[in-house]
Amino acid sequence: MNLVNHQFRLAARPVGVPKREDWNYTEEPVREPGDGEVLIKTLYLSLDPAMRGWMNEGKSYIPPVGIGEVMRAGGVGKIIASKNAKYAVGEFVYGTLGIQEYLTSNGKGLTKVDPKLAPLPVYLGTLGMPGMTAYFGLLDVGQPKSGETVVVSGAAGAVGTVVGQVAKIKGCRVVGIAGGADKCRYIRDELGFDAAIDYKHEDVKEALRTHCPQGIDVYFDNVGGDILDAALTRITRGARIVICGAISQYNNTGPVKGPANYLSLLVNRASMKGMVVFDYADRYAEAGREMAGWMAAGKLKSREDIVKGLDTFPETLLKLFKGENTGKLVLQVAEG
Ligand SMILES: NC(=O)c1ccc[n+]([C@@H]2O[C@H](COP(=O)([O-])OP(=O)(O)OC[C@H]3O[C@@H](n4cnc5c(N)ncnc54)[C@H](OP(=O)(O)O)[C@@H]3O)[C@@H](O)[C@H]2O)c1
């Protein structure tokens, strides 16, 4: 076949915000599939805040990416050669493809996806890992009840947009916290959130008092730091705080900022619980079916922010930390 595979490999563990020099852009010949293997052409890659954590040394819920290894990434690709009876040429799959143009795989960990049911990038967002995170984080950990107030930070992102919409479907009052007027308008006017707080231009504590007159029953935290602290001042008795992520802390060169207001948990008999989406893997299909149904019924909107070109990866990844994405950030590597 004589195909060439371009890749981004981790060159150094970044200090603070990752730089282009933290990566090596490499090329190598594509390996033909052997017996039981398939060759996948990468079409779309998922860029995730978690990638920043995978670049660090140290224990986490998943091992770090090793120096010299192809950067880990979920993606959707097309089978272009197959010696595996389960996969036919022309089928589309989701898997851990890595930041590269091709992957030769033994088929383990691949899931078929159907472009007739949803556009392929949606399988990286609302019907993919971020959607599953929102669904199980909100419903399983947050346990919202109809009439309760749910607040979500990172509200215009991949996880946050789904959290807010699912909370609306469940009959809650929903307040989103996001950066900038455009994002606030989007979640309020297009996604149906009841209120939006622009944390870059408003006093969050004050705004939470205005928009959550009965207090916060469920706080779904994507950002940590000062916003988590502000939310803790408004929780109700028995509130549930879902620790999904803390993007405001991921590029810190000093210690992570913990919540100063944590005694509010004591006073309010509230709970704060971390969640990792992979723990729900055996229930993804169930959640996918329900969310696809909501999408078909027009109750759940999906938005993808697609940037073209594998070579843009180092800069495109930083959009997450600069707040330059709305909805799911996707890197398009090739045309479907
Ligand atoms: N626990 C799990 O299993 C799991 C799974 C997936 C994702 N997550 C976590 O969920 C969170 C959201 O992930 P995502 O994929 O949906 O990303 P995303 O929300 O689509 O993108 C990240 C957003 O974070 C916001 N942000 C960046 N720096 C910030 C700061 N200093 N303070 C406040 N907001 C900041 C930006 O929006 P603004 O313009 O609004 O600032 C940016 O658009 C992340 O913390 C991620 O690590 C956890």
Mean pLDDT of 223-252: 98
80 CB contacts (<8 Å, ≥6 apart)?
39, 40, 41, 89
* For residue 34, pLDDT beyond 80: yes
Average pLDDT rounded to a whole number, residues 173-183: 98
- Pick from 244, 61, 225: which is nearest to 141 by CA? 244
pLDDT tens profile 92-139: 999 999 999 999 999 999 999 999 999 999 999 999 999 999 999 999
Q: Is the pLDDT of residue 1 over 80?
A: no
Q: What pLDDT, on a 0 to 100 scale, did the predictor assign at position 160? A: 98
Is the C-beta atom of 323 inside 6 A of ligand 1?
Answer: yes
Distance CA 10, CA 137 (A): 30
Nearest ligand 1 atom to alpha carbon 133: 5
Instruction: Give the CB-side neighbour count of residue 38, counting CA atoms within 13 A.
Output: 26
Predicted TM-score of the model (pTM) = 0.98
CB of residue 204 inside a 6 A radius of ligand 1: no
The reply to whether ligand 1 has any atom less than 6 angstroms from the CB of 178 is: yes
Separation of CA 333 and ligand 1 centre (Å): 23
Coil, strand or helix at 83? coil
Task: Give the pLDDT band (50/70/90) at residue 60.
Answer: confident
pLDDT for residue 214: 97
What pLDDT digit, counting tens, does each position of 292-307 carry?
Answer: 999 999 999 999 999 9
Chain mean position to CA 250: 14
248 C-beta closer than 6 A to ligand 1: yes
Quick one: average pLDDT of 218-238?
98
Ligand 1: nearest atom to the Cα of 49: 47
Give the per-residue pLDDT at 144: 98
Q: 159 in ligand 1 pocket by Cβ < 6 Å?
A: yes
H runs (alpha helix) in the chain: 50-54, 129-136, 158-169, 181-185, 204-211, 225-232, 263-267, 284-296, 313-322
**Residue pLDDT, tens place only, 189-209:** 999 999 999 999 999 999 999
Q: Is 280's C-beta closer than 6 angstroms to any atom of ligand 1?
A: no
252 Cα–ligand 1 center, Å: 15
pLDDT tens per residue, range 146-167: 999 999 999 999 999 999 999 9
**How far from each other are the two terminal CA atoms of the chain, in whole angstroms?**
19
Residue 59 has pLDDT above 90, yes or no: no
Cβ 158 under 6 angstroms from ligand 1: yes
d(CA 289, CA 334): 28
49 C-beta closer than 6 A to ligand 1: yes
Q: Residue 336: its pLDDT value, please?
A: 74
222 touches ligand 1 (CB under 6 Å): yes
Task: Quote the CA–CA distance of 30 and 148 in Å, as a whole number.
Answer: 53
Confidence category of residue 186, pLDDT binned at 50, 70, 90? very high
Q: Determine which residue's CA is closest to atom 43 belonging to ligand 1.
A: 323
Task: Indicate whether residue 141 lines ligand 1 (CB < 6 A).
Answer: no
Q: 298 CA distance to ligand 1 centroid (A)?
A: 25
Query: Which of 132, 177, 247 to mutate for ligand 1's pocket (most ligand atoms within 8 Å of CB)?
Result: 247
What is the Å distance from ligand 1's center to 70 Cα? 23
Task: Evaluate if residue 317 carries a pLDDT over 90.
Answer: yes
Ligand 1 atom with the smallest distance to the CA of 243 is 1
Give the model's pLDDT for residue 222: 98
By the 10 Å C-beta count (0-12 exposed, 13-18 middle, 19+ buried), 212 is classed as buried
For residue 114, what pLDDT is reported? 95
Q: Is the CB of 95 under 6 A from ligand 1?
A: no
